Structure 1
Amino acid sequence: MTTTALALALGWPREVMLAECDPAGRRILPGYLAERLDGSPGPGLLGLATALGGQDTRMEDYTIPLAESGRVRLLHGIRDPRHAAQLARLWQPLAGLFTESEADVIADVGRVGSPDTPMGLLADADLVVMVLRGTLAQVDAAQPRLDALLSALNWRVPVALCLIQSGRYSAAEVGRALFELPVLAELPHAPTDANVLSDGARPRMAFRTCLLLRTAGNLGHQMRKLVEERAFHPETLPAHIVSSGEAR
Protein backbone atom coordinates (compact mmCIF):
# COMPACT_ATOMS: atom_id res chain seq x y z
CA MET A 1 0.00 0.00 0.00
CA THR A 2 1.65 3.22 -1.22
CA THR A 3 0.12 5.33 1.55
CA THR A 4 1.72 3.14 4.21
CA ALA A 5 5.06 3.02 2.37
CA LEU A 6 5.10 6.82 2.12
CA ALA A 7 4.23 7.28 5.81
CA LEU A 8 6.96 4.79 6.65
CA ALA A 9 9.55 6.65 4.57
CA LEU A 10 8.68 10.06 6.06
CA GLY A 11 9.27 8.70 9.56
CA TRP A 12 12.22 6.42 8.78
CA PRO A 13 15.02 6.65 11.40
CA ARG A 14 17.85 7.24 8.91
CA GLU A 15 18.50 8.20 5.29
CA VAL A 16 16.06 6.35 3.06
CA MET A 17 14.88 6.07 -0.52
CA LEU A 18 11.29 5.14 -1.36
CA ALA A 19 11.23 3.23 -4.64
CA GLU A 20 7.88 2.88 -6.42
CA CYS A 21 8.22 -0.59 -7.94
CA ASP A 22 4.53 -1.31 -8.43
CA PRO A 23 4.03 -2.72 -11.96
CA ALA A 24 0.52 -1.21 -11.91
CA GLY A 25 1.94 2.30 -11.97
CA ARG A 26 3.02 5.23 -9.82
CA ARG A 27 0.92 7.02 -7.22
CA ILE A 28 3.08 9.60 -5.44
CA LEU A 29 3.75 12.12 -8.23
CA PRO A 30 0.05 12.60 -9.04
CA GLY A 31 -0.88 12.24 -5.35
CA TYR A 32 1.25 13.50 -2.47
CA LEU A 33 3.58 15.52 -4.72
CA ALA A 34 0.89 16.91 -7.04
CA GLU A 35 1.25 20.45 -5.65
CA ARG A 36 4.50 20.01 -3.75
CA LEU A 37 6.99 19.28 -6.52
CA ASP A 38 9.22 22.07 -7.79
CA GLY A 39 10.84 21.34 -11.13
CA SER A 40 11.02 18.19 -13.20
CA PRO A 41 10.67 14.78 -11.54
CA GLY A 42 13.24 13.32 -13.92
CA PRO A 43 13.11 9.86 -15.52
CA GLY A 44 12.62 7.90 -12.28
CA LEU A 45 12.57 4.11 -12.15
CA LEU A 46 12.22 3.53 -15.89
CA GLY A 47 15.16 5.80 -16.60
CA LEU A 48 17.28 4.10 -13.97
CA ALA A 49 16.40 0.66 -15.31
CA THR A 50 17.30 1.76 -18.84
CA ALA A 51 20.65 3.11 -17.64
CA LEU A 52 21.63 -0.10 -15.85
CA GLY A 53 24.87 -1.50 -17.14
CA GLY A 54 26.23 1.89 -18.07
CA GLN A 55 29.20 3.53 -16.41
CA ASP A 56 28.75 5.17 -13.01
CA THR A 57 24.99 4.63 -12.70
CA ARG A 58 24.03 6.65 -9.62
CA MET A 59 20.57 6.24 -8.14
CA GLU A 60 20.75 9.75 -6.74
CA ASP A 61 20.59 11.11 -10.30
CA TYR A 62 17.17 9.51 -10.74
CA THR A 63 15.57 10.46 -7.41
CA ILE A 64 13.90 13.58 -6.05
CA PRO A 65 13.56 14.80 -2.44
CA LEU A 66 10.41 13.93 -0.51
CA ALA A 67 11.24 16.05 2.53
CA GLU A 68 12.97 19.39 2.99
CA SER A 69 15.80 17.79 4.93
CA GLY A 70 16.84 15.79 1.86
CA ARG A 71 17.04 12.69 4.07
CA VAL A 72 14.06 11.08 2.30
CA ARG A 73 14.16 10.65 -1.49
CA LEU A 74 11.76 9.19 -4.05
CA LEU A 75 12.44 7.02 -7.05
CA HIS A 76 9.10 7.47 -8.80
CA GLY A 77 7.59 4.56 -10.68
CA ILE A 78 6.24 3.97 -14.14
CA ARG A 79 3.22 5.89 -15.35
CA ASP A 80 2.05 3.39 -17.96
CA PRO A 81 1.53 -0.20 -16.75
CA ARG A 82 2.48 -1.38 -20.23
CA HIS A 83 6.06 -0.48 -19.35
CA ALA A 84 6.10 -3.18 -16.66
CA ALA A 85 7.18 -5.69 -19.30
CA GLN A 86 10.36 -3.66 -19.85
CA LEU A 87 11.21 -3.99 -16.16
CA ALA A 88 10.65 -7.75 -15.80
CA ARG A 89 14.24 -8.73 -16.58
CA LEU A 90 15.69 -5.77 -14.68
CA TRP A 91 14.32 -6.38 -11.18
CA GLN A 92 17.31 -8.49 -10.17
CA PRO A 93 19.95 -5.94 -11.32
CA LEU A 94 17.90 -3.21 -9.64
CA ALA A 95 17.90 -5.21 -6.41
CA GLY A 96 21.69 -5.32 -6.57
CA LEU A 97 21.82 -1.56 -7.05
CA PHE A 98 19.46 -1.03 -4.12
CA THR A 99 21.62 -3.26 -1.92
CA GLU A 100 24.70 -1.18 -2.74
CA SER A 101 22.96 2.05 -1.72
CA GLU A 102 24.23 3.84 1.38
CA ALA A 103 20.61 4.70 2.17
CA ASP A 104 18.01 2.17 3.18
CA VAL A 105 15.48 1.35 0.47
CA ILE A 106 11.75 0.89 0.94
CA ALA A 107 10.37 -0.72 -2.20
CA ASP A 108 6.62 -0.46 -2.73
CA VAL A 109 5.84 -3.45 -4.97
CA GLY A 110 2.06 -3.10 -4.97
CA ARG A 111 -0.22 -6.12 -4.93
CA VAL A 112 1.71 -9.36 -4.74
CA GLY A 113 0.60 -12.51 -6.49
CA SER A 114 0.21 -11.40 -10.09
CA PRO A 115 2.58 -12.52 -12.89
CA ASP A 116 4.08 -9.00 -12.83
CA THR A 117 5.12 -9.21 -9.15
CA PRO A 118 8.80 -8.16 -9.00
CA MET A 119 10.10 -11.38 -7.44
CA GLY A 120 13.67 -10.37 -8.26
CA LEU A 121 13.35 -7.59 -5.70
CA LEU A 122 11.53 -9.63 -3.09
CA ALA A 123 14.05 -12.47 -3.26
CA ASP A 124 16.86 -10.06 -2.32
CA ALA A 125 14.91 -8.19 0.35
CA ASP A 126 15.88 -8.14 4.00
CA LEU A 127 12.28 -7.95 5.11
CA VAL A 128 8.95 -8.18 3.29
CA VAL A 129 5.90 -6.62 4.91
CA MET A 130 2.38 -7.18 3.64
CA VAL A 131 -0.14 -4.46 4.48
CA LEU A 132 -3.79 -5.41 4.91
CA ARG A 133 -6.98 -4.63 6.78
CA GLY A 134 -8.47 -6.94 9.37
CA THR A 135 -11.42 -7.89 7.18
CA LEU A 136 -12.47 -11.32 5.98
CA ALA A 137 -12.14 -10.23 2.33
CA GLN A 138 -8.55 -9.05 2.76
CA VAL A 139 -7.45 -11.99 4.89
CA ASP A 140 -9.02 -14.36 2.37
CA ALA A 141 -7.21 -12.59 -0.49
CA ALA A 142 -3.92 -12.59 1.42
CA GLN A 143 -3.81 -16.34 2.11
CA PRO A 144 -3.08 -17.64 -1.42
CA ARG A 145 -0.80 -14.68 -2.16
CA LEU A 146 1.26 -15.29 0.95
CA ASP A 147 1.32 -19.01 0.29
CA ALA A 148 2.75 -18.39 -3.19
CA LEU A 149 5.16 -15.75 -1.89
CA LEU A 150 6.51 -17.89 0.95
CA SER A 151 6.95 -20.82 -1.41
CA ALA A 152 8.76 -18.70 -3.99
CA LEU A 153 11.05 -17.22 -1.34
CA ASN A 154 11.48 -20.66 0.23
CA TRP A 155 11.20 -18.95 3.64
CA ARG A 156 14.69 -17.44 3.10
CA VAL A 157 13.38 -13.88 3.44
CA PRO A 158 11.50 -12.87 6.60
CA VAL A 159 7.87 -11.96 5.91
CA ALA A 160 5.68 -10.03 8.35
CA LEU A 161 2.35 -8.22 8.41
CA CYS A 162 1.18 -4.67 9.04
CA LEU A 163 -2.48 -4.33 9.95
CA ILE A 164 -4.69 -1.32 9.21
CA GLN A 165 -7.21 -0.97 12.04
CA SER A 166 -10.27 -1.32 9.84
CA GLY A 167 -12.18 -4.55 10.20
CA ARG A 168 -13.47 -6.92 12.85
CA TYR A 169 -10.41 -9.16 13.21
CA SER A 170 -7.59 -8.48 15.66
CA ALA A 171 -3.88 -8.67 14.95
CA ALA A 172 -3.67 -11.99 16.79
CA GLU A 173 -6.51 -13.46 14.73
CA VAL A 174 -5.03 -12.23 11.45
CA GLY A 175 -1.61 -13.61 12.34
CA ARG A 176 -3.05 -17.02 13.18
CA ALA A 177 -4.98 -17.12 9.92
CA LEU A 178 -1.93 -16.15 7.89
CA PHE A 179 0.68 -18.80 8.60
CA GLU A 180 1.42 -17.50 12.12
CA LEU A 181 3.29 -14.55 10.62
CA PRO A 182 4.14 -11.74 13.07
CA VAL A 183 2.11 -8.52 12.97
CA LEU A 184 4.70 -5.78 13.40
CA ALA A 185 2.25 -2.92 13.85
CA GLU A 186 -1.36 -1.81 13.74
CA LEU A 187 -1.76 1.51 11.93
CA PRO A 188 -4.83 3.63 12.65
CA HIS A 189 -7.58 3.92 10.07
CA ALA A 190 -7.27 7.69 9.57
CA PRO A 191 -8.83 8.67 6.21
CA THR A 192 -8.26 12.43 6.61
CA ASP A 193 -4.51 12.10 7.21
CA ALA A 194 -4.17 9.20 4.76
CA ASN A 195 -5.68 11.37 2.00
CA VAL A 196 -2.79 13.81 2.40
CA LEU A 197 -0.39 11.01 1.51
CA SER A 198 -2.49 9.26 -1.12
CA ASP A 199 -4.13 12.18 -2.93
CA GLY A 200 -2.20 15.29 -1.90
CA ALA A 201 -5.06 16.69 0.20
CA ARG A 202 -4.36 19.81 2.22
CA PRO A 203 -2.97 18.71 5.61
CA ARG A 204 -4.47 19.85 8.87
CA MET A 205 -2.31 21.80 11.31
CA ALA A 206 -1.43 18.76 13.42
CA PHE A 207 -0.61 16.50 10.46
CA ARG A 208 3.12 16.21 11.17
CA THR A 209 2.39 14.84 14.64
CA CYS A 210 -0.72 12.83 13.78
CA LEU A 211 -1.16 9.28 15.06
CA LEU A 212 -0.73 7.79 11.58
CA LEU A 213 2.75 9.27 11.09
CA ARG A 214 3.79 8.57 14.68
CA THR A 215 2.72 4.92 14.43
CA ALA A 216 4.43 4.54 11.05
CA GLY A 217 7.56 6.06 12.57
CA ASN A 218 7.50 3.49 15.36
CA LEU A 219 7.06 0.75 12.75
CA GLY A 220 10.08 2.06 10.87
CA HIS A 221 12.26 1.93 13.99
CA GLN A 222 11.08 -1.62 14.64
CA MET A 223 11.80 -2.75 11.09
CA ARG A 224 15.22 -1.11 11.10
CA LYS A 225 16.06 -2.82 14.38
CA LEU A 226 15.15 -6.22 12.94
CA VAL A 227 17.38 -5.57 9.94
CA GLU A 228 20.29 -4.42 12.11
CA GLU A 229 19.98 -7.44 14.38
CA ARG A 230 20.29 -9.70 11.37
CA ALA A 231 23.68 -8.14 10.60
CA PHE A 232 24.98 -9.42 13.95
CA HIS A 233 22.84 -12.56 14.27
CA PRO A 234 22.45 -14.11 10.81
CA GLU A 235 20.36 -16.94 12.17
CA THR A 236 17.51 -14.58 13.11
CA LEU A 237 16.49 -11.92 10.61
CA PRO A 238 18.11 -9.95 7.78
CA ALA A 239 20.24 -5.79 6.14
CA HIS A 240 19.30 -3.54 3.48
CA ILE A 241 16.30 -3.42 1.21
CA VAL A 242 12.90 -3.37 2.85
CA SER A 243 9.92 -4.18 0.66
CA SER A 244 6.31 -3.30 1.23
CA GLY A 245 3.59 -5.34 -0.45
CA GLU A 246 -0.18 -5.45 -0.14
CA ALA A 247 -2.87 -8.04 -0.27
CA ARG A 248 -5.71 -6.28 -2.00
Structure 2
Amino acid sequence: MIDVLISFISVNGSPGVTTAAMAMTWVWPRHAVVAECDPTGGRALSVFDPDGRHGRTGVFELMLQARAMPLHRAMSSQLLVLPDGTGRHHLLPGVNALREAESLDWRRLTSLFLDLETVDVLADCGRFRSRATPAAVLSEADLVVAVVRNCRGSLQTFAKAVDVVREEHGVFDNEGLVVLLADPEPRTHQRYPAGEIGRELGLTIAGTLPWDPASAAQFTDRHRPGRKFETSPLLTQARKATDEIGRRAMERMSWLRKPPPVVNGHVR
Protein backbone atom coordinates (compact mmCIF):
# COMPACT_ATOMS: atom_id res chain seq x y z
CA MET A 1 0.00 0.00 0.00
CA ILE A 2 1.32 3.47 -0.91
CA ASP A 3 1.98 5.84 1.95
CA VAL A 4 0.51 9.31 2.43
CA LEU A 5 2.14 12.58 3.41
CA ILE A 6 0.05 14.84 5.66
CA SER A 7 1.41 18.24 6.65
CA PHE A 8 0.23 20.21 9.69
CA ILE A 9 0.46 24.00 9.90
CA SER A 10 -0.81 26.97 11.87
CA VAL A 11 -1.08 30.60 10.76
CA ASN A 12 -0.70 32.37 14.08
CA GLY A 13 0.53 31.78 17.59
CA SER A 14 0.80 28.25 18.89
CA PRO A 15 -2.62 26.59 18.65
CA GLY A 16 -1.32 23.06 19.16
CA VAL A 17 0.21 21.92 15.86
CA THR A 18 2.82 19.75 17.59
CA THR A 19 0.26 18.25 19.96
CA ALA A 20 -2.08 17.50 17.04
CA ALA A 21 0.59 15.83 14.89
CA MET A 22 1.97 13.82 17.82
CA ALA A 23 -1.44 12.72 19.14
CA MET A 24 -2.62 11.61 15.72
CA THR A 25 0.58 9.66 15.06
CA TRP A 26 0.18 8.02 18.47
CA VAL A 27 -3.23 6.59 17.48
CA TRP A 28 -2.57 6.18 13.73
CA PRO A 29 -3.90 2.80 12.48
CA ARG A 30 -0.92 2.12 10.19
CA HIS A 31 2.85 2.43 10.38
CA ALA A 32 3.66 6.12 10.67
CA VAL A 33 6.42 8.64 11.29
CA VAL A 34 5.83 12.03 12.85
CA ALA A 35 8.45 14.29 11.28
CA GLU A 36 9.31 17.57 12.98
CA CYS A 37 9.69 19.94 10.02
CA ASP A 38 9.13 23.15 11.97
CA PRO A 39 12.04 25.43 10.96
CA THR A 40 12.08 27.06 14.41
CA GLY A 41 13.14 23.76 15.96
CA GLY A 42 11.80 20.52 17.38
CA ARG A 43 11.04 19.67 20.99
CA ALA A 44 9.95 16.04 20.85
CA LEU A 45 13.44 14.61 21.38
CA SER A 46 13.64 16.22 24.81
CA VAL A 47 10.16 14.85 25.60
CA PHE A 48 10.87 11.23 24.70
CA ASP A 49 14.62 11.15 25.34
CA PRO A 50 15.11 13.59 28.23
CA ASP A 51 18.39 11.97 29.29
CA GLY A 52 19.89 12.21 25.82
CA ARG A 53 20.63 8.49 25.52
CA HIS A 54 20.14 8.61 21.75
CA GLY A 55 22.47 11.56 21.30
CA ARG A 56 21.87 14.04 18.50
CA THR A 57 19.44 12.55 16.07
CA GLY A 58 16.94 13.94 13.63
CA VAL A 59 16.27 15.49 10.25
CA PHE A 60 19.52 17.50 10.10
CA GLU A 61 21.65 14.49 10.98
CA LEU A 62 19.69 12.45 8.44
CA MET A 63 20.69 14.80 5.63
CA LEU A 64 24.32 14.78 6.78
CA GLN A 65 24.42 10.99 6.74
CA ALA A 66 22.74 10.93 3.33
CA ARG A 67 25.94 12.35 1.85
CA ALA A 68 27.58 8.98 2.40
CA MET A 69 24.70 6.51 2.21
CA PRO A 70 21.27 6.07 0.61
CA LEU A 71 18.65 8.42 1.99
CA HIS A 72 16.35 5.61 3.13
CA ARG A 73 19.10 3.97 5.14
CA ALA A 74 20.10 7.27 6.69
CA MET A 75 16.51 7.85 7.78
CA SER A 76 16.17 4.49 9.50
CA SER A 77 19.13 5.35 11.71
CA GLN A 78 17.52 8.60 12.84
CA LEU A 79 14.10 7.34 13.93
CA LEU A 80 12.99 6.85 17.53
CA VAL A 81 10.25 4.37 18.33
CA LEU A 82 7.38 6.09 20.12
CA PRO A 83 6.54 4.36 23.43
CA ASP A 84 2.91 3.69 22.54
CA GLY A 85 3.31 -0.08 22.77
CA THR A 86 2.66 -0.80 19.08
CA GLY A 87 6.20 -0.62 17.71
CA ARG A 88 4.88 0.85 14.45
CA HIS A 89 4.99 4.57 15.23
CA HIS A 90 8.23 6.57 15.06
CA LEU A 91 9.59 10.06 15.60
CA LEU A 92 11.96 11.92 13.29
CA PRO A 93 13.20 14.78 15.50
CA GLY A 94 13.55 18.29 14.13
CA VAL A 95 16.38 20.77 13.81
CA ASN A 96 18.10 22.38 16.77
CA ALA A 97 18.40 25.84 15.25
CA LEU A 98 16.99 27.94 12.42
CA ARG A 99 20.32 27.92 10.58
CA GLU A 100 20.05 24.13 10.30
CA ALA A 101 16.59 24.44 8.77
CA GLU A 102 17.84 26.99 6.23
CA SER A 103 20.54 24.59 5.06
CA LEU A 104 18.27 21.60 4.50
CA ASP A 105 17.23 20.30 1.09
CA TRP A 106 13.52 20.10 1.92
CA ARG A 107 12.59 18.98 -1.59
CA ARG A 108 14.88 15.97 -1.37
CA LEU A 109 13.53 15.13 2.06
CA THR A 110 9.97 15.45 0.76
CA SER A 111 10.78 13.01 -2.04
CA LEU A 112 11.92 10.55 0.61
CA PHE A 113 8.65 10.95 2.50
CA LEU A 114 6.67 10.30 -0.68
CA ASP A 115 8.76 7.28 -1.65
CA LEU A 116 8.31 5.42 1.63
CA GLU A 117 6.18 2.32 1.23
CA THR A 118 3.50 1.40 3.80
CA VAL A 119 4.71 4.15 6.14
CA ASP A 120 2.65 7.32 6.42
CA VAL A 121 4.36 10.60 7.30
CA LEU A 122 2.70 13.24 9.46
CA ALA A 123 4.83 16.39 9.18
CA ASP A 124 4.71 19.13 11.80
CA CYS A 125 5.57 22.20 9.70
CA GLY A 126 4.93 24.80 12.38
CA ARG A 127 3.72 28.26 11.50
CA PHE A 128 2.91 29.01 7.86
CA ARG A 129 5.10 31.68 6.24
CA SER A 130 7.63 31.67 9.05
CA ARG A 131 11.26 32.08 8.07
CA ALA A 132 12.61 28.95 6.32
CA THR A 133 9.15 27.38 5.98
CA PRO A 134 9.60 23.92 4.38
CA ALA A 135 7.58 24.84 1.28
CA ALA A 136 8.13 21.51 -0.47
CA VAL A 137 6.73 19.54 2.45
CA LEU A 138 3.56 21.61 2.16
CA SER A 139 3.15 21.84 -1.61
CA GLU A 140 3.77 18.11 -2.17
CA ALA A 141 1.58 16.88 0.69
CA ASP A 142 -1.41 14.70 -0.05
CA LEU A 143 -3.34 16.68 2.55
CA VAL A 144 -2.61 19.83 4.55
CA VAL A 145 -4.20 20.18 7.97
CA ALA A 146 -4.47 23.69 9.37
CA VAL A 147 -4.69 23.59 13.16
CA VAL A 148 -6.77 26.56 14.28
CA ARG A 149 -7.74 27.54 17.79
CA ASN A 150 -11.52 27.79 18.09
CA CYS A 151 -11.71 31.37 19.30
CA ARG A 152 -12.58 34.65 17.63
CA GLY A 153 -9.06 36.03 17.14
CA SER A 154 -7.52 32.86 15.71
CA LEU A 155 -10.45 32.19 13.40
CA GLN A 156 -10.34 35.73 12.02
CA THR A 157 -6.59 35.51 11.41
CA PHE A 158 -6.92 32.18 9.66
CA ALA A 159 -9.82 33.41 7.49
CA LYS A 160 -7.58 36.22 6.21
CA ALA A 161 -4.72 33.80 5.51
CA VAL A 162 -6.63 31.10 3.60
CA ASP A 163 -6.30 32.85 0.24
CA VAL A 164 -2.57 33.41 0.82
CA VAL A 165 -2.11 29.71 1.54
CA ARG A 166 -3.92 28.82 -1.66
CA GLU A 167 -2.02 31.36 -3.77
CA GLU A 168 1.44 30.33 -2.57
CA HIS A 169 0.69 26.63 -2.94
CA GLY A 170 -1.53 26.21 -5.98
CA VAL A 171 -2.21 22.54 -5.22
CA PHE A 172 -4.27 23.61 -2.23
CA ASP A 173 -7.92 23.26 -3.12
CA ASN A 174 -10.98 22.64 -0.99
CA GLU A 175 -10.12 18.94 -0.95
CA GLY A 176 -6.44 19.40 -0.15
CA LEU A 177 -6.76 21.78 2.79
CA VAL A 178 -8.81 20.91 5.87
CA VAL A 179 -9.15 22.40 9.33
CA LEU A 180 -8.55 20.75 12.67
CA LEU A 181 -10.03 22.82 15.49
CA ALA A 182 -8.25 23.07 18.83
CA ASP A 183 -10.52 24.05 21.69
CA PRO A 184 -9.32 26.98 23.82
CA GLU A 185 -9.42 27.31 27.59
CA PRO A 186 -13.20 27.18 28.17
CA ARG A 187 -13.20 29.64 31.08
CA THR A 188 -11.66 32.46 29.06
CA HIS A 189 -12.78 31.91 25.45
CA GLN A 190 -16.03 31.40 23.62
CA ARG A 191 -16.11 28.46 21.21
CA TYR A 192 -18.06 28.41 17.94
CA PRO A 193 -19.94 25.49 16.31
CA ALA A 194 -17.77 23.53 13.88
CA GLY A 195 -20.47 23.57 11.20
CA GLU A 196 -20.71 27.35 11.36
CA ILE A 197 -16.93 27.71 11.10
CA GLY A 198 -16.78 25.37 8.11
CA ARG A 199 -19.46 27.33 6.25
CA GLU A 200 -17.74 30.65 6.93
CA LEU A 201 -14.35 29.39 5.79
CA GLY A 202 -15.61 27.25 2.93
CA LEU A 203 -13.44 24.40 4.21
CA THR A 204 -14.00 21.00 5.76
CA ILE A 205 -13.67 20.75 9.53
CA ALA A 206 -11.93 17.39 9.87
CA GLY A 207 -12.15 17.19 13.65
CA THR A 208 -11.82 18.92 17.00
CA LEU A 209 -9.23 18.40 19.71
CA PRO A 210 -10.45 19.20 23.22
CA TRP A 211 -8.88 21.40 25.86
CA ASP A 212 -6.86 18.73 27.70
CA PRO A 213 -3.60 20.32 28.92
CA ALA A 214 -2.56 17.35 31.08
CA SER A 215 -2.61 14.97 28.11
CA ALA A 216 -1.11 17.52 25.71
CA ALA A 217 1.85 17.94 28.06
CA GLN A 218 2.76 14.29 27.44
CA PHE A 219 3.76 15.34 23.91
CA THR A 220 5.27 18.76 24.61
CA ASP A 221 6.80 18.62 28.11
CA ARG A 222 7.84 15.20 29.38
CA HIS A 223 6.23 11.89 28.63
CA ARG A 224 5.10 10.40 31.94
CA PRO A 225 1.55 9.24 31.21
CA GLY A 226 -0.85 8.00 33.83
CA ARG A 227 -3.19 5.03 33.56
CA LYS A 228 -5.98 7.07 31.96
CA PHE A 229 -3.81 8.60 29.22
CA GLU A 230 -4.93 6.18 26.49
CA THR A 231 -8.59 6.96 27.20
CA SER A 232 -8.05 10.69 27.71
CA PRO A 233 -10.28 13.22 25.90
CA LEU A 234 -7.32 14.23 23.71
CA LEU A 235 -6.58 10.74 22.37
CA THR A 236 -10.28 9.85 22.13
CA GLN A 237 -10.93 12.83 19.85
CA ALA A 238 -7.64 12.30 18.02
CA ARG A 239 -8.81 8.83 17.01
CA LYS A 240 -11.98 10.29 15.52
CA ALA A 241 -10.04 12.98 13.64
CA THR A 242 -7.56 10.36 12.43
CA ASP A 243 -10.32 8.38 10.75
CA GLU A 244 -11.51 11.42 8.80
CA ILE A 245 -8.09 12.87 7.97
CA GLY A 246 -6.65 9.50 6.99
CA ARG A 247 -9.59 8.78 4.69
CA ARG A 248 -9.32 12.16 2.97
CA ALA A 249 -5.54 11.87 2.58
CA MET A 250 -5.84 8.43 0.98
CA GLU A 251 -8.54 9.59 -1.43
CA ARG A 252 -6.58 12.64 -2.52
CA MET A 253 -3.33 10.69 -2.76
CA SER A 254 -5.02 8.25 -5.15
CA TRP A 255 -6.08 11.17 -7.31
CA LEU A 256 -2.79 13.10 -7.18
CA ARG A 257 -0.56 10.13 -7.90
CA LYS A 258 -2.77 8.42 -10.46
CA PRO A 259 -0.57 7.51 -13.44
CA PRO A 260 -1.37 9.39 -16.65
CA PRO A 261 -3.46 7.51 -19.22
CA VAL A 262 -1.71 5.70 -22.08
CA VAL A 263 -3.25 6.15 -25.52
CA ASN A 264 -1.82 4.31 -28.54
CA GLY A 265 1.31 3.53 -26.61
CA HIS A 266 1.91 7.14 -25.57
CA VAL A 267 1.44 8.78 -22.18
CA ARG A 268 -0.99 11.64 -22.39
Q: TM-score range by the shorter chain?
A: 0.7 to 0.9
Q: Quick one: which amino acid aligns to residue 204 of structure 1?
A: G
Aligned length: 231
Q: Which runs of 5+ in 2 are unaligned?
A: 1-16, 185-189, 259-268
1:123 aligns with 2:139: yes
1:98 aligns with 2:113: yes
Cα separation, 1, equivalents of 2:24 and 2:55: 21
Runs of 4+ in 1 over 6 A off after TM superposition: none
1:101 and 1:182, CA in 2 relative to 1: closer, same or farther beyond 3 A? same
- The residue aligned with 1:245 is none
User: Which secondary structure does the structure 1 equivalent of 2:163 belong to?
Assistant: helix
TM-score (norm 1): 0.84
Q: Quick one: which amino acid aligns to residue 143 of structure 1?
A: A
Cα separation, 1, equivalents of 2:244 and 2:141: 16
Provide, for residues 207-231 of structure 1, a one-character-per-residue CA deviation record: whole Å limited to 9, x for no partner: 1111211211222222222233335
Provide, for residues 44-73 of structure 1, a one-character-per-residue CA deviation record: whole Å limited to 9, x for no partner: 100112334544222211111113432011
1:27-176 alignment, distance < 5 Å: 27-31=43-47, 33-35=48-50, 39-52=53-66, 54-57=68-71, 58=73, 59-67=75-83, 68-87=85-104, 90-102=105-117, 103-156=119-172, 158-166=176-184, 167-176=190-199
Q: CA deviation at 1:176?
A: 3.1
User: Which secondary structure does the structure 2 equivalent of 1:29 belong to?
Assistant: helix
1:221 aligns with 2:239: no
Q: CA deviation at 1:154?
A: 1.4
Q: CA deviation at 1:42?
A: 4.3
- The residue aligned with 2:36 is 20
Q: Is the 8 A contact 1:91 1:118 kept in 2?
A: yes
TM-score (norm 2): 0.79
User: Which secondary structure does the structure 2 equivalent of 1:30 belong to?
Assistant: helix
1:28 and 1:53, CA in 2 relative to 1: closer, same or farther beyond 3 A? same
1:69 and 1:136, CA in 2 relative to 1: closer, same or farther beyond 3 A? same
Q: Is the 8 A contact 1:5 1:106 kept in 2?
A: yes
Q: Quick one: which amino acid aligns to residue 179 of structure 2?
A: L
- The residue aligned with 1:190 is 212
Cα separation, 1, equivalents of 2:53 and 2:244: 35
- The residue aligned with 1:207 is 229
Provide, for residues 139-173 of structure 1, a one-character-per-residue CA deviation record: whole Å limited to 9, x for no partner: 12223433221112214460000001224222123
RMSD: 2.2
- The structure having more radius of gyration, on CA atoms, is 2
Q: CA deviation at 1:81?
A: 2.2
1:220 and 1:62, CA in 2 relative to 1: closer, same or farther beyond 3 A? same
Q: Quick one: which amino acid aligns to residue 100 of structure 1?
A: D
